[in-house]
Amino acid sequence: MSKLKFISKNIKYNAVSQVLTFLINFALLPFMVFHVGKEVYGVYILVVTFTGYMGLMDFGVGGTTIKYVAEFAPKGDNKKVNDIISASFSFFMIIGILAAALLFMLSFCFDRIFKIDVYNMTIARHLFLIAAASSLFIWPGRTFDYALQGFQRYDRFAVNNIIFTVLTGISAYFIFTNNMGIVCFLAVSSIFSILKCISAYLIVNKSILKEHIKFPYFHKETFKMIFDFSFYLFLSSLATILIFNVDNIIVGAFVTVAAVTLYNAGLNLQQGFRMINALIEGPLFPAYVEMESKGELERQRAILFKGTKYKAFVFIPFVLITIIFAKPFIKCWMGDIFLAGVVPAQILIAFWLFNSILDIGAGMLTAKGYVKTIFKIVFINAVANLGLSLILVRYFGIIGVALGTTIPMVFISFPLFIWQILKTFKITFAEYFNSSIKDSLVVFAVAGVLAFIIRRALPVDRLWLVVFEMGAAYVITMFAAYTWLLSENEQSEIRSMIKF
């Protein structure tokens, strides 16, 4: 199996798993609200949100585990792989205890922070206690999910996720139709999460690594290696949170709280593109690390050129179509009162026209260990974002905040990443452009023109019709581009990648 086909197989498994999870959660939301009420569901969301924020306590060790497992496994160095997994497991065991302690304390003081009906206080306390207890097992259990990704076994990783996600969805139906309540649901879903971790452990320990995990394991050199890499991953994550999450605070402080809701229409669309991008980039990272560990510079260059070309080929037309259809989409999705959020949405989405071009190279830079350089770029971007947003919001409102987010992405982050990619791989911009982007420019033009014509010629007022027109514009563009712009070898390669 070619490396490109292997990578595409992992992307497909990851996509199926994530999309199925999204659809089940999407269906569960109104079902759960209907059965438990808005306030009880709101309490549940608060507990889940607090648990999610504690994900920052990962400190980048999860991504580092993926990197070093992917680096040492292809060399057959099972000792180092075992050392990394054992150290990560021991670290996450400590984090699990800390998270459990924090959630346990929140179970007794949450009512001082949030206004909760006295009748729901017991429910809230029980939810926090369940989350605290499950943290003791789920945090260390994540080690084996990261290990599976490092081993590039996305087939087993995806199947494991799918099985327990489906079981959670089925259990939700029986729990709520039998009036067993939100506490029972969180308890059962937590049990399934723990079982998923145990399943991942059995797959890693018995089927792949075939060595016992050492615990406790606090080897000084191993932890130094982990934290030398993970520290800058963690800092980059914090800077990214600043870039994307501070906007709501600025809008609420300088415009109105109601404007935050308008702004989030565009922010949610932008987050959708981030999710799609993550589906693609996740399985690519351990593949990059493997190539780096083997010193395969020429193969890295080939993947850089071809991966960037294929990603831009399929991703940018979708971005352009969404920008053009943003107004009818938001109007039909959220209503006329959200039309003020159309332009900010278009601006926020626009930076993906540039970001999708550099993501393949940026992922390779991370695999090569340029995490400090990446953090510097992201940090400069974050500072510029904050400064510009604070200045422009005074003159342009929510449009100014969107510009404050997008301008640094396009004029700071993009050129700095491109410069580092060219320098690292010792290639010129002309080589990069001609090999990765030039041939797709016609595809981008076709997508934009076709979307504009369809939108103008066939105006619709139903969300499903808008989505249908967007899909039609995309499918026609991809079919035309595949038929007339790709070589026979490229067509054959794409057909090979599409097949499971």
Rounded to whole angstroms, what are the CA distances from 294 to 76, 161, 281, 300, 336? 12, 30, 20, 11, 56
pLDDT at 39 over 80: no
Contact 174, 184 (CB under 8 A): no
| One domain for residues 156 and 267 | no
Q: Structural domain of residue 278, as residue ranges?
A: 233-498
* Position 187 in a domain: yes
**Rounded-to-integer distance, Cα 496 and Cα 12, Å:** 12
pLDDT of residue 473: 95
| One domain for residues 172 and 259 | no
User: Residue 6 half-sphere exposure, CB side, CA atoms within 13 Å?
Assistant: 12
User: At 67, which amino acid appears?
Assistant: K
Q: Which two tokens stand for residue 65?
A: 């585990």
| One domain for residues 106 and 253 | no
* CA nearest to 409, candidates 376, 443, 377, 366: 377
User: At 488, which amino acid appears?
Assistant: E
- Residue where a domain stops, chosen among 176, 210, 244: 210
Contact 289, 369 (CB under 8 A): no
| One domain for residues 136 and 283 | no
Burial label, 180 (beta-carbon count in 10 A; 0-12, 13-18, 19+): middle
* Position 217 in a domain: no
296: left (phi over 0), alpha (psi -120 to 50) or beta: beta
Q: How far apart are the first and last CA of the chain?
A: 12
Torsion of CA 37, 43, 44, 46, to 10 degrees: 140
User: At 207, which amino acid appears?
Assistant: S
**Rounded-to-integer distance, Cα 46 and Cα 124, Å:** 9
pLDDT of residue 418: 94
| One domain for residues 30 and 69 | yes
pLDDT of residue 22: 77
User: At 173, which amino acid appears?
Assistant: Y
| One domain for residues 206 and 240 | no
| One domain for residues 322 and 202 | no
| One domain for residues 42 and 161 | yes
* CA nearest to 347, candidates 329, 322, 328: 322
Q: Which two tokens stand for residue 159?
A: 């199947």
* Position 215 in a domain: no
* Position 225 in a domain: no
| One domain for residues 259 and 126 | no
* CA nearest to 185, candidates 36, 77, 72: 36
Cα angle, residue 354 at apex, residues 348 and 355 outer, rounded to 5° = 80
**Rounded-to-integer distance, Cα 314 and Cα 311, Å:** 5
Q: What is the mean pLDDT of residues 169-194?
A: 91
* CA nearest to 138, candidates 92, 98, 87, 188: 92
Tens of pLDDT along 274-284? 777 777 777 88
pLDDT of residue 295: 83
| One domain for residues 44 and 97 | yes
Q: At what angle do helices 414-425 and 429-436 cross, to 10 degrees?
A: 100
The mean pLDDT of the chain is: 86
pLDDT at 115 over 70: no
* Position 220 in a domain: no
Report the number of distinct structural domains present in the chain.
Answer: 2
| One domain for residues 409 and 494 | yes
**Separation of CA 140 from chain center:** 21
Contact 229, 67 (CB under 8 A): yes
Tens of pLDDT along 65-86? 999 999 998 888 888 999 999 9
Tens of pLDDT along 423-433? 999 999 999 99
* CA nearest to 432, candidates 307, 269, 253: 307
Radius of gyration of the chain (CA): 24
Lowest pLDDT segment from 61-70, 133-142, 244-253, 287-296: 244-253
* Position 366 in a domain: yes
DSSP 485: T
* Position 32 in a domain: yes
Lowest pLDDT segment from 21-25, 393-397, 428-432: 21-25
| One domain for residues 449 and 385 | yes
* Position 170 in a domain: yes
* CA nearest to 61, candidates 254, 224, 264, 303: 224
Contact 65, 77 (CB under 8 A): no
